[in-house]
Amino acid sequence: MAKLIQGKPIAQTIRQEVASETANLKKNGIQPHLTVVLVGENPASQVYVRMKSKACNEAGIESETLILDSGITEEKLLNIIHELNQNPKVHGILVQLPLPDAIHEDRILEAILPSKDVDGFHPVNVGKLMTGMTDGFVPATPSGILELLMRSGYPPQGKHVVVVGRSNIVGKPAGMLLLRKGREGDATVTFCHSRTPDLASVTKRADILIAAIGRPRMITQDMVKPGVVVIDVGVNRVEDPSTEKGYRLEGDVDFDTVSQIAEAITPVPGGVGPMTIACLLQNTIKACKQLNRKES
């Protein structure tokens, strides 16, 4: 049976590290600040924003949530982003996705200053990740994947990592992060996706498999080799009348069978999920430090 890579205790350790850094910054008169912009009343987004705000408060980071009407125009939203860019007290800006259909997400994300883009979605930060520069921001979920591997004793250096999924939020940046030079990188990375012919022939070669394709139980036991380390990013709602909520959460990996032959595997929920907010806090502290260095 595989070792469980539990995200909650690792995330808690990171939060404690962030709280310690925040306390040191406060001693020097610096108050880290994150502003979250929420447009509309998407229930899932509201939950995520509340969780982020709570995590900030626990770590000593000042947080503000701007709740905007779903009918706001793109130009008004851009003006708000511009004001936040110019506000020296704001170190991190996060626009909660998805946005209403009438607003172009790319235009909004590109309007955020790269130095305050703690989500890591601005093209400048994407470019820095691609070229191996370390002063940019990496999206929180890929950062969380790397933290899980490193802190669980599975550094990617010299390993063959197969990433199943090519999204700009998880798949692509996760692969690029693991390609960087050094012990936290130096992996050989293969990208796969829903249209990869004979997917199993590729996933079977993985020493580390990252599943981020958004299909419940897509990765089955016959698609992996014994001893693989599996990071399951998927969070899929599957109807289940036997549960109180009427559904259950499942990953992209068939946990019951794959865990029988893997060396280590993340559970769903409780694996990658808790890491995302913890790494967002890390990015906020990094932004605060870098912005204050520029000003001093």
Please give the average per-residue pLDDT across 177-187, as a whole number: 94
The closest of 228, 241, 289 to 26, measured between CA atoms, is 289
Q: 16, 46, 69, 96: which one is catalytic?
A: 96
- DSSP β-ladder status, 247-250 and 236-239: antiparallel
What percentage of the chain reaches a pLDDT higher than 90?
A: 90
Residue ranges, comma separated, of all CATH 3.40.50.10860 domains in the chain are: 29-113
Please give the average per-residue pLDDT across 11-27, as a whole number: 97
pLDDT tens-digit readout, 150-160? 999 999 999 99
pLDDT at 219 over 60: yes
Give the number of C-alpha atoms closer than 13 A to the C-alpha of residue 18, restricted to the C-beta side. 30
Enter the pTM of the model. Answer: 0.94
Residue 96 catalytic? yes
User: Average per-residue pLDDT in the chain?
Assistant: 95
In the CATH scheme, what is the code of domain 140-274? 3.40.50.720
pLDDT at 53 over 90: yes
- DSSP β-ladder status, 160-164 and 33-39: unpaired
pLDDT at 295 over 80: no
What SS3 state is found at 248?
strand
In CATH, the architecture of 29-113 is 3-Layer(aba) Sandwich (3.40)
Write down how long the chain is.
296
| Cβ-contact 67, 53 below 8 angstroms | no
Q: 3, 8, 27, 52: which one is catalytic?
A: 52
The pLDDT of residue 237 is 84
47-74 residues labelled b (16+ CB within 10 A) or e (exposed): ebbeebbebbeebbbbbebeeeeeebee
Lowest mean pLDDT among 61-65, 234-238, 253-257: 234-238
Please give the average per-residue pLDDT across 218-223, as a whole number: 97
Please give the average per-residue pLDDT across 205-226, as a whole number: 97
Please give the average per-residue pLDDT across 179-183, as a whole number: 92
Non-local CB neighbours of 252 within 8 Å, separated by 6+ positions: 164, 165, 211, 212, 213, 214, 215, 216, 217, 218, 219, 232, 233, 234, 236
Q: 6, 54, 116, 119: which one is catalytic?
A: 119
Residue ranges, comma separated, of all CATH 3.40.50.720 domains in the chain are: 140-274
Residue 52 catalytic? yes
Residue 119 catalytic? yes
Cα 123 to Cα 30, 80, 131, 204, 212, distances in angstroms:
28, 20, 12, 33, 21
